[in-house]
Amino acid sequence: MTLTIPGFDYIRLPGADGVELAAAVGGSGSPVVLLHGFPQTHLMWRHVAERLAGEHTVICPDLRGYGASDKPAATDPDVYAKRAMAADVVTLAAALGHERFALVGHDRGALVAFRAGLDHPETITHLGILDIVPTLDMWDVLHGTSAAVGYHLFLMAQPPGLPEAMIAGSADAFFGSFFDAWADDPAAVPEDVRAEYLRASAAAVMSIVADYRASAGIDVTHDQADLDAGSQLAMPVTVVQQDWGAQLGYDAAGVWKAWAPDLDHRLTRAGHFMAEEAPDEITAVIRGLLAR
């Protein structure tokens, strides 16, 4: 049985370039869009979404290439550029009647949210970012043996063919390893939810790899162009991270301050899957962001 967020409606909505996205929509009030990470689906927001739905219209899509959303072939680098995925989100929200909305993303979804904030400052009112640094900075901070934590980034950056074959040949072991390594509280991702994530990821190997490959190519190009132009995030931004700065040897808050002048940077004791491991904490953070 497919797992759902209780009380939410499930619909398909237009994204950009003819792509359709699956989304869970619930609640009422000012709109908040929540974007999931890897190797997950919109289901990662189940606890937070239910909490926010009493005050907001909460929209939880599966990203292009993930879950029940369309998985277009990566015929060129633009298909899985975060610019295209951000356009999906803006188009989806507009289809629901929301020309302006708050946006919160985790992991891959946070990279999409970051790009949406830069590309659509008139649309994104508030921006929440969970456990990333921007793509351009990510490659800068991964160095030496500490970079082993991000081995999958390097694997999926390779030319098409071998990464897809390697991952598809042991999909459950590959995708499951991230829940084993990254969750401080494994019980936060119960077996039925984990099984759903593994099923969805195994069915999306080609598009997941394409998403990551874009982050070693076209996404870097787009970030560099914004850096060179002095572009910054115009809206209030809240970033919640594990203490990656201490682990990898960089100033995490400083990295984000360069992009986001109106910044609230926080560290959490929760693991990477913080919306599932610490939903009360993350819900409170989002409420605080929306009050700014």
Which residues are annotated as catalytic?
107, 272
With CA atoms as reference, report the closest residue to 285 among 126, 158, 174.
Answer: 126
CA distances from 45 to 67, 119, 178, 273, 282 (A): 13, 24, 18, 10, 10
User: Residues 200, 42: contact at Cβ < 8 Å?
Assistant: no
Ranges of H-type helices in 54-150 = 82-95, 108-119, 135-141
| Residue 219 Cα to chain centre, angstroms | 14
DSSP character at residue 159: P
Q: How many alpha carbons lie under 13 Å from residue 222 in its C-beta half-sphere?
A: 24
Give the DSSP H or E segment for 104: strand 101-106
The DSSP 8-state label assigned to residue 6 in this structure reads T
